[in-house]
Structure 1
Amino acid sequence: MDSQLTGSKVALHRLLIGVMAALLIIFTITIGLYFHQISDPYIREVLSLSGDLKRGSEIFQINCAVCHGIKADGSVGPSLHHVSKRKSRVSLINQVISGKTPPMPKFQPTSQDMSDLLSYLERL
């Protein structure tokens, strides 16, 4: 009986080590991807600028309101209220410029326009 108990403890110990190793790998990949993204010159430039809320609202109305609604409360696209609590600044930039979530088109605003748009989105 004691050998079975010891075997169970060894198995549990190995499982915990495996889980910890997997979590460490996931953490390392996530950090690596984040630093890779912020090494992108466009993203670095956007993050270094101060955005203008009024201009960001104008950019939103011209480019985004058709799908996300005039008040950003959703239409074809989802509501963007509190989007900055769900997505990081880098994720928001990638969402806007990637075009990887149809029907949202690929959109490449200037660095300043993107910074202005971020300021607007962060205040929703």
Structure 2
Amino acid sequence: MAEGTHGIALKVLLLLFGLWLAAMAIALPSAALDDTESGLVLVAFPTMGVGEDRNLLRVAAAEGRPIRSLLGGRLWLAQSDEPGFVGALKAAGAWAVFSPDMLTALPQGACFDISVRPPGPPRPNPPI
């Protein structure tokens, strides 16, 4: 009887994973910035066979200033005031470019949130 419950749990897990993938397939393209945008952006680069140094060079090729590397160089916070910066990043090999404001939706204390906090002494959490 225990094997039957494991099978159901696996099916539920696969269903939830499939729903999450579908939601991401819809949400991420709609959250991407237009090619004419500039300013502070979050850039996603290809994940296989490309190192952090190569992606740093891609940001520089788009005439941007790299701010911080995330997830082993697969994501970069970059900035440029040049018009069309997002289009230049995509031409340099970026998969997608997003507003860094999308990171503010992460709860305080999440692993990813900690990795994008500015360096310095700990700051108290704001009151609820």
Q: Compute the TM-score of the two structures, normalised by the length of structure 2.
A: 0.31
Structure with bigger strand share is 2
User: TM-score, normalization: structure 1?
Assistant: 0.32
Which structure would you say has the larger Rg? 1
| Higher-RCO chain (CA-CA 8 Å, sequence separation at least 6) | 1
In terms of fraction of residues, the more helix-rich structure is: 1
